[in-house]
Structure 1
């Protein structure tokens, strides 16, 4: 009969425990080696998904801001076009002119036509203001635009088929100094064609002038818009 000594039992127990520890350690390392990359991939996938959602959000915000900017530019362009065509009322600094007939009692030999305001005098005065940099003009609260025309019916002046009666009140928005300088130029139109006939003329600079919108119809029978080439 083989005798098993106590120290042999101890060695066997220790060996078995070491074996169990070794197996447990190997299994743990295997689990770590197999689960850690998967965990990292999952975390990276979550980060990627979050960043992708954030990027999509930024793209949407960017598209929205671009649309807002385009709408703003379009709205501003529409406002500028409406201002240029006289379709909106305007206000600003400028000058106010009053022009009317000479009210002196004439002698029999004097021709009264020399002492009343004619349509061409008013027309040329308006052109002087445009040339001096006026941005908007009205005569007796009638907006003058690029297609406006002056004419006469007897002693009555017409602008865009609307009757005008003296005194003729002209409002012009623009640099007051430049407008006044052009009108009071020595030897200029006002001096030679208005003051020379003793027509009553006065002018003042104004800090705030309001000019109404053009109320007539604007139509183009022959002109057509051309698309811009990029």
Structure 2
């Protein structure tokens, strides 16, 4: 009797165990959606940033290719007046949609080295990293020094370019970047350097360069090439400094 009871329990328990295992496998497959559930190096912040950067760069290349095709089709519709064509070229260079070459400066900003961070555990970690304000200070100084064109992380800077901190990365044109950060400007190198030296913010940054070994290097370039901006030029919103922003009423709300 005891043996018969053991056999009957096995016959009942085995199908239940197999059913539970099947549900577990199905749940894992659904959650994974074809990916590995085991954490890997790609799940680190640096890996995610690099992956997003590659994806964004691919989309930018697709956008540039489509824009080139549109321009080619427009050219087939008929010739453009030479004066308008010249004006278009001049404006394209000013806007940043044409590549440029010339002398200038490259500024490189870096976070404090890891050993400095370990040696200063009581120091506010915000003092040991490069922030968007530091990048913007360099950019503003170079514009004030007469920069004719500029890039950040080899991305062309235009009138709507914004720099924003997200965690320990900086987002530019929707793409996250990790340090070091490079800002290059084409123009008169002496005037650009003087503008950097005259910047009060950069002078304050130099204190942290000395105390905590933040990276701040300036390199003179006899000739540098800057790519054209290949993203969208659409302006989402803008305000005039000194004027209160008044939201516009939606036609569906106002009934007009």
TM-score interval, normalised by the smaller of the two chains: 0.5 to 0.7
Residue from 140, 165, 175 that aligns with 2:178: 165
Bigger radius of gyration:
1
On the 8 A contact 1:100/1:166 being kept in 2, the answer is: yes
Per-residue deviation at 1:112?
A: 1.4
In the alignment, which residue of structure 2 is the partner of 1:216?
231
In the alignment, which residue of structure 2 is the partner of 1:189?
201
On the 8 A contact 1:119/1:158 being kept in 2, the answer is: no
Residue from 171, 191, 201 that aligns with 2:216: 201
In the alignment, which residue of structure 2 is the partner of 1:52?
none
On the 8 A contact 1:183/1:189 being kept in 2, the answer is: no
Per-residue deviation at 1:221?
A: 5.7
Provide the C-alpha distance between the structure 2 equivalents of 1:181 and 1:221, rounded to a whole number of angstroms. Answer: 35
Instruction: Output the TM-score relative to the length of structure 2.
Output: 0.56
Residue from 94, 99, 103 that aligns with 1:93: 103
Provide the C-alpha distance between the structure 2 equivalents of 1:222 and 1:174, rounded to a whole number of angstroms. Answer: 30
Instruction: Output the TM-score relative to the length of structure 1.
Output: 0.62
Per-residue deviation at 1:131?
A: 1.3
1:75-118 per-residue CA deviation (whole Å, 9 max, x = no partner) reads 22111110111111111011111111111234221111101000
Per-residue deviation at 1:71?
A: 3.8
Provide the C-alpha distance between the structure 1 equivalents of 2:84 and 2:229, rounded to a whole number of angstroms. Answer: 22
Q: Does 1:145 align with 2:158?
A: yes
- What are structure 2's unaligned runs of at least 5 residues? 1-79, 239-256
